[in-house]
Amino acid sequence: MKIWIDRTDCDACTSYCDRHAAKLVRFPEGEDRPCIKRIEDDGSPLLTLVVRDGELEATLTLTEEQRQIVALEGLSPILPWYRH
């Protein structure tokens, strides 16, 4: 499955976004938020997220370990621009 997320125009704080992303990873077809631009069944057992935040964009194909991290902590821990 492939999901496009655009956080650019969302005025919610990062922790709010992370909670929604955590739920989205657990239930991909059960979330409907303005930031979710497209969901496509690409036939892959892996989950791919295309995340845009302003000028930044990342395409992340999640391993099972990364998917579990997002399911617990949200997107921020795996986005390249949040890494320290």
Q: What's the whole-model pTM score?
A: 0.85
| 3-class secondary structure per residue, the chain | CEEEEECCCCCCCHHHHHHHHHHHHHCCCCCCCCCEEEEECCCCCCEEEEEEECCEEEEEEECHHHHHHHHHHCCHHHCHHHCC
pLDDT value at position 43?
93
Query: Which tens digit of pLDDT belongs to each residue from 28-78?
Result: 777 678 888 999 999 998 999 999 999 999 999 998 888 998 999 998 888
Confidence band for 13, pLDDT divided at 50, 70 and 90:
confident
Question: How confident is the model at residue 83, as a pLDDT?
Answer: 66
Mean per-residue pLDDT for 15-19? 86
pLDDT at 31: 67
Indicate the number of domains in the chain. 1
The range of the structural domain enclosing residue 76 comes to: 2-82
